[in-house]
Amino acid sequence: MSDNLPQYIEDRYIGGASKREVQKELKAAGWKQADITAALKQSPYTARSPLSPASMVAAVLGVVILTAGTFLVTVAMQQQGAQLPIPSDWTHAPLSHGEEPALSNPEFFATVKQDFIDKKSDLIEADLSAMTLNVYKAGELALSVPIMTKGREGSWWETPAGLYSITTKAESHFSSFGKVYQPWSMAFQGNFFIHGWPYYPGGEAVASTYSGGCIRLSTEDAEKVFNLADVGTPVLVFEEDFSSDNFSYSSLSAPLSAGSYLTADLKNNQVFYSEEAGNVVPIASITKLMTALVATEYLNLDSVAVVPKEALVYTSIPRFKVGDEISIYQLLFPLLTESSNEAAETIARHYGRSLFIQRMNDKAKAIGMTDSVFVDPSGADAGNVSTAEDLFMLAKYVYNNRSFVFNITSGNLKGSAYGASVFTDLRNLNHLTSHKYFFGGKVGQTIAAKETDLSVFEVPVEGEIRPLAFIVLGSNNSESDTTYLLNQFLERYAKP
Q: Which position among 19, 267, 288, 363 bears the catalytic label?
A: 288
Q: Which residues contact 97 (CB under 8 A, 6 or more apart)?
A: 71, 162, 163, 164, 165, 189, 234, 235, 366
CA distance 198 to 214: 11
DSSP per residue, 455-480 = EEEEEEETTEEEEEEEEEEEES-HHH
H or E element: which one contains 366?
helix 353-366
Tell me, yes or no, if 224 is annotated catalytic: no
Angle formed by the axes of helices 287-298 and 403-410, to 10°?
130
Q: Is residue 288 annotated as part of the catalytic site, yes or no? A: yes
Q: How far apart are CA 168 and CA 188, in angstroms?
A: 8
Q: Active site includes 172? A: no
Instruction: State the CB neighbour count (10 A cutoff) for residue 423.
Output: 14
Q: Burial, 75: exposed, middle or buried (Cβ in 10 Å; 0-12, 13-18, 19+)?
A: middle
At 245, the amino acid letter reads: D
Tell how strand 215-216 and strand 192-195 pair up. Answer: parallel
Q: Residues near 495 by Cβ (< 8 Å), separated by ≥ 6?
A: none
Query: Residue type for 87, please?
Result: P
Burial of 450 (0-12, 13-18, 19+ CB in 10 A): buried
What is the sign of the dihedral through the CA atoms of 466, 368, 452 and 286?
A: positive
Residues 104, 121, 260, 285: which is the catalytic one?
285
Residues with Cβ within 8 Å of 331's Cβ and at least 6 positions away in sequence, in order, are 295, 305, 340, 343, 346, 347
CA-closest candidate to residue 183, choices 165, 204, 197: 197
* Catalytic residue (choose from 339, 378, 403, 478): 339
Please state, in angstroms and rounded to a whole number, the distance separating the CA atoms of residues 316 and 334. Answer: 11
Catalytic residues: 285, 288, 339
